[in-house]
């Protein structure tokens, strides 16, 4: 298990931008950082796990869906420091486009909710800062 808080090395995370019928799949985060905020399905790459396998695993765990992982949507990093300047969080996140193959949408313990949201309704959701930046870059948000 990765030490997320005050890590010794950067941690690699993944996310899945899943679009279907002009809607994007959002999950409401159950854990920190960002508990209660809306994000895309994702998580951490495990030691020895291929990055696209991590995307498939995390999406299945969080949403119940099986997906085909496509090209990289974006790469970003989150570095958060505490009041003393020590690194509290350091994530390198690789987001992929993915498409649903099968399964029934149902959130797991990692996600409080999961739902398909129309692009024009995205502003109604309290998105994580990272996902808001990603959606602006991809043109989902103006």
> pLDDT tens-digit profile of 25-56?
999 998 877 889 999 999 999 999 999 999 99
Cis peptide leading into residue 33 (ω within 30°): yes
Whether 66 and 56 have beta carbons less than 8 Å apart is answered as: yes
- Report whether pLDDT(72) > 70: yes
Question: What domains appear along the chain, each with residue ranges and CATH number?
Answer: 11-137 (3.90.79.10)
Predicted confidence band at 80 (pLDDT cuts at 50, 70, 90)?
Answer: very high
pLDDT at res. 2: 61
Rounded to whole angstroms, the Cα distance separating 95 from 97 reads: 7
- Tokens for 83, please give them: 């009041």
113 is catalytic: yes
The Cα 125–Cα 117 span in angstroms is 9
Mean pLDDT along residues 67-88: 96
Determine the pLDDT at residue 10. 95
pLDDT for position 30: 86
pLDDT, residue 3, reads 81
Do 20 and 99 form a contact (C-beta atoms < 8 A)? yes
C-alpha span between 135 and 38 (Å, rounded)? 12
CB crowding 1-14: b at 16 or more within 10 Å, else e: eeebeeeeeebbbb
Q: Tell me the pLDDT tens digit for each residue of 102-116.
A: 999 998 878 899 999
| Residue tagged active-site, from 32, 49, 77, 113 | 113
């Amino acid at each position: 298990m990765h030490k997320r808080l005050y890590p010794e090395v950067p941690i690699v995370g993944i996310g899945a931008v899943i679009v279907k019928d002009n809607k994007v799949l959002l999950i409401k985060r159950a854990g920190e950082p960002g508990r209660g905020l809306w994000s895309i399905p994702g998580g951490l790459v495990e030691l020895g796990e291929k990055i696209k396998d991590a995307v498939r695993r995390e999406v299945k765990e969080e949403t119940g869906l099986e997906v085909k992982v496509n090209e990289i949507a974006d790469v970003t990093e989150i570095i958060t420091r505490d009041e003393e300047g020590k690194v509290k969080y350091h994530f390198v996140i690789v987001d992929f486009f993915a498409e649903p193959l099968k399964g029934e949408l149902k959130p797991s313990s990692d996600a409080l909710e999961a739902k398909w949201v129309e692009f024009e309704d995205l502003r109604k959701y309290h998105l994580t800062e990272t996902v808001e930046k990603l959606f602006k870059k991809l043109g989902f948000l103006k």
